[in-house]
């Protein structure tokens, strides 16, 4: 029996059974649904894209996987090379892993060990943001701030290594002033905090964070697992403010296979590169650099570049703003739009009860959580399809 995520198995509604998928559509036996959340924000090119399928099949005909311990191969080498050339600054060193959570764990381990390797043993603390979400493994839960998901951690009492602050420059400055000697990193989902409620904040916060990290010698980590590949309307937020470590996942493979990467700058890499074996990064997920994942990631990036995906995302944002212009309802607290993300935050979670089935009946797959009704559509969506998604959201309040 399948044990489903984030659900009370005893009381959950049965999940919709998908029999096929193509483009922006999921098919059940009796319905054709626009996937308004791109399979947890990853399926940016839509389902069953022929070029992506071909990339996987042709790699599978050679080999699907070989480990990176003592072995290497062209798809991993090419993807690391592509990321080196494509990502901003000197984010040149790619450590692959099998999921976003693991890639964040790797980033946190890198930041801690970077200072341990230098003999700075006091730097054991992490600055993180309120409402952050970085995954469901133990350290990512700890840097996260998501009571609704991670309350089990309360069993351990308050965290001794993580300090949470709001996305407010004064709070940032105060935290640095108080803790800079103990901090090894600041970790943030830049501009858009996803699972914490699609919260959007200003770039000035990140610019100030960069200055303070430089001033106090603290590493800046951007978790762009959700925001990367255009979701905020920027290719990467790292194009605007350069982090020392960048984490990518989800859309890295166009959503086709789970894979992620922790990309380090030259400075971070050099903190590990010496004759002392104890200064090596002791991490190695079995499926890191999986050949199918690397092959499909390369093809996904090629599509993203050649078919001007940034223009597609600008179009999605423009249509979304146009369709929601002037729309309001007393039950809605706020409407937030950024790039390829829209969120209607309602005043009470109960207001969204029944929405999923309502949307299903109108040909849209949606998965609101808590007080958040949102869409993160595949970038290949056509105008009338996007309008349908937005009309469905509005219709819920106009009933």
Instruction: Name the site residues for ligand PLP (rule: CB under 6 A).
Output: 99-101, 104, 133-135, 189, 194-195, 223, 225-226, 249
244 is catalytic: no
78 is catalytic: no
| Residue 198 C-beta: closest distance to ligand PLP, Å | 11
Q: For ligand PLP, which residue has the nearest CB? A: 100
Output the DSSP codes for 134-172.
--SSHHHHHHS--HHHHGGGGGG-S-SSEEEE-S-HHHH
Active-site annotation holder among 25, 93, 114, 133: 133
Q: Which is nearer to ligand PLP, 124 or 137 (CB)?
A: 137
**CA torsion, points 379, 384, 385, 389, in degrees to nearest 10?**
110
Q: Under a CB-based contact definition with an 8 Å cutoff, are residues 115 and 184 in contact?
A: yes
Q: Which is nearer to ligand PLP, 205 or 396 (CB)?
A: 205
Cα Rg, the chain, nearest whole Å: 21
223 is catalytic: yes
Q: Which is nearer to ligand PLP, 249 or 289 (CB)?
A: 249
Q: Which is nearer to ligand PLP, 117 or 193 (CB)?
A: 193
Active-site annotation holder among 125, 139, 250, 299: 250
Active-site annotation holder among 6, 20, 168, 394: 6
| Residue 286 C-beta: closest distance to ligand PLP, Å | 15
| Residue 201 C-beta: closest distance to ligand PLP, Å | 14
Q: Which is nearer to ligand PLP, 223 or 385 (CB)?
A: 223
Look at residue 348 and give its three-state secondary structure.
coil
Taking alpha carbons only, the member of 190, 178, 267, 261 closest to residue 223 is 190
6 is catalytic: yes
Q: How far apart are CA 373 and CA 328, in angstroms?
A: 14
Contacts of 394 (CB under 8 A, 6+ apart): 323, 324, 327
Look at residue 111 and give its three-state secondary structure.
helix
**Integer distance in angstroms from the first to the last C-alpha of the chain?**
38
Q: How far apart are CA 255 and CA 42, in angstroms?
A: 4
Taking alpha carbons only, the member of 45, 9, 33, 11 closest to residue 304 is 45
Active-site annotation holder among 35, 98, 223, 244: 223
Q: Which is nearer to ligand PLP, 5 or 69 (CB)?
A: 5
| Residue 193 C-beta: closest distance to ligand PLP, Å | 8
| Residue 223 C-beta: closest distance to ligand PLP, Å | 5
CA distance to 104, 184, 266, per residue, from 161 (Å): 16, 10, 26
| Residue 186 C-beta: closest distance to ligand PLP, Å | 15
Catalytic residues: 6, 133, 223, 250
């Amino acid at each position: 029996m399948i044990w489903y995520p984030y659900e009370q198995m005893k009381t959950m509604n049965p999940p919709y059974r998908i029999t096929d998928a193509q483009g922006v559509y999921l098919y059940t036996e009796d319905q054709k649904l626009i996937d308004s959340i791109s399979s947890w924000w990853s399926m940016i090119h839509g389902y069953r894209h022929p070029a992506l399928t071909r990339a996987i099949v042709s790699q599978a005909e050679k080999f699907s996987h070989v480990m990176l311990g003592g072995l290497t191969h062209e798809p991993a080498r090419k993807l690391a090379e592509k990321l080196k050339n494509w990502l901003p600054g000197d984010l040149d060193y790619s450590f692959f892993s099998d999921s976003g959570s693991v890639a964040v764990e790797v980033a946190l381990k890198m930041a801690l060990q970077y200072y341990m390797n230098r003999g700075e043993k006091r730097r054991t603390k992490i600055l993180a943001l309120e409402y952050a979400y970085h995954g469901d493994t133990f350290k990512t839960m700890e840097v996260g701030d998501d009571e609704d998901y991670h309350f089990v951690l309360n069993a351990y009492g308050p965290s001794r290594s993580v300090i949470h602050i709001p996305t407010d420059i004064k709070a940032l400055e105060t935290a640095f002033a108080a803790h800079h000697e103990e901090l090894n990193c600041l970790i943030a989902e830049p501009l858009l905090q996803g699972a914490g409620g699609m919260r959007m904040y200003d770039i000035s916060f990140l610019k100030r964070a960069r200055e303070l990290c430089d001033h106090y010698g603290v590493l800046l980590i951007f978790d762009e697992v959700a925001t990367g590949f255009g979701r905020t309307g920027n290719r990467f937020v790292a194009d605007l403010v350069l982090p020392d470590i960048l984490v990518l996942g989800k859309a890295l493979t166009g959503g086709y296979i789970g894979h992620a990467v922790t990309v380090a700058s030259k400075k971070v890499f050099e903190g590990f590169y010496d004759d002392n074996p104890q200064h090596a990064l002791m991490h190695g997920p079995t499926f890191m650099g999986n050949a199918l994942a690397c092959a499909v990631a390369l093809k996904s990036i090629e599509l993203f570049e050649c078919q001007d995906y940034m223009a597609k995302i600008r179009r999605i944002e423009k249509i979304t703003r146009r369709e929601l212009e002037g729309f309001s309802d007393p039950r809605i607290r706020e409407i937030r739009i950024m790039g390829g993300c829209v969120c209607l935050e309602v005043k009470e979670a109960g207001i969204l009860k029944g929405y999923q089935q309502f949307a299903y009946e109108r040909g849209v797959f949606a998965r609101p959580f808590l007080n958040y009704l949102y869409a993160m559509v595949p970038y290949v969506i056509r105008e009338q399809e996007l309008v349908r998604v937005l009309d469905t959201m509005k219709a819920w309040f106009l009933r």
